Structure 1
Amino acid sequence: MSDFRNAVTSMPARERLAKAPHGAKVVIHATAAETNGAFGMWETFTPPGKGPAPHTHTRETEVFRVIRGIYHFQCGDEEFDAPPGAVVVLPPHVRHSWRNIGDEPGQMFAIVTPGGFEQLFMEIEASGADAPDEIALIEARLGIINDETLAINR
């Protein structure tokens, strides 16, 4: 595992804002570039009924902690609901998805290891990508296999 030697900080009112493929606001706290590849860290603020399409990471493990709301997760053949306080670890190479099933906006804190996937949110925000084929190009470069993308490209 790579190490890094400088503190990484994310201060209130100076957060880096980004956007998830499903339109949710994302706040980036740490990037692979800042942690010498060790991890990326962010928070996602998910409107009711929203979440990513089923997808598979080919590089990283994701860790989520539910802060607000109730999220429904699918990981391979497993399905479960995660209330505030729940921690969910999703392995690489296993198809998964999640969505906010509550009536209020949800919030999750996330870490990915190794880092790099957080770049997706930053690139969507910077490029203004909102069409599935635009997002698919970014995902493919980052090793993400998205079910919606597969359907579009068939």
Structure 2
Amino acid sequence: MTAFSKAVVSLPGSERIARHPHGGRVIIYSLAEETGGALGMWETFSAPGTGPTRHTHTRETEVFRVIVGTYRFWCGDEQIDAPVGTTIVLPPNIPHQWRNVGDVPGRMMGIVIPGGFERFFMELERLGADTPEKIIAIQEGFGLIEG
């Protein structure tokens, strides 16, 4: 990781748009290369009843902040109901998943420390990964383990 020496600013309209494996939209605000590797940041939009399958990040701490909607998280053996305003900080190597359990489209802020994983969403978009097999192949390059 290299130091960054000036503010990283993401003005409206300058974000990068990608997608989440469950089909929701992702807006990426900060990339690792913009923050000297310190972090990556995005916002996830998810329809009711959707969310990723159980997975494990092997490289980064992941931070979630519920902005709109009601989510349920499974972190290791723990189940957490997460209304608006909930923040969850998850260290590496903890199997987890989340789901929008409300009846309205949800939004969450996501941050990874160190950065780098945010590019996963951009790769899904760039490569048109539309099958579980294609998604899993991309995940492996980002230190993400399914299950």
Cα separation, 2, equivalents of 1:87 and 1:122: 24
TM-score, structure 2 as length reference: 0.96
SS at match of 1:120: helix
State the 1:6 CA deviation: 3.0
Q: 1:15 is matched with which residue?
A: 15
Cα separation, 1, equivalents of 2:23 and 2:53: 12
- For residues 1-154 of structure 1, the aligned pairs below 5 Å read 2-147=2-147
Alignment deviations for residues 66-121 of structure 1 (CA, whole Å, 9 cap, x no partner): 00000000000000100001111111101000010001000001110010110110
State the 1:8 CA deviation: 1.7
Residue range with higher mean Cα deviation, 103-112 or 11-20? 11-20
State the 1:13 CA deviation: 2.4
Root-mean-square deviation (CA, aligned residues, Å) is 1.1
Q: 1:151 is matched with which residue?
A: none
Cα separation, 1, equivalents of 2:125 and 2:8: 21
Gapped regions of structure 2 (runs ≥ 5): none
SS at match of 1:4: coil
SS at match of 1:138: helix
Cα separation, 1, equivalents of 2:9 and 2:128: 26
SS at match of 1:79: strand
Cα separation, 1, equivalents of 2:132 and 2:9: 32
Gapped regions of structure 1 (runs ≥ 5): 148-154
Residue range with higher mean Cα deviation, 34-43 or 5-14? 5-14
How many pairs were matched up? 147
Aligned-partner residue type, residue 138 of structure 2: I
Aligned-partner residue type, residue 8 of structure 1: V
SS at match of 1:33: helix
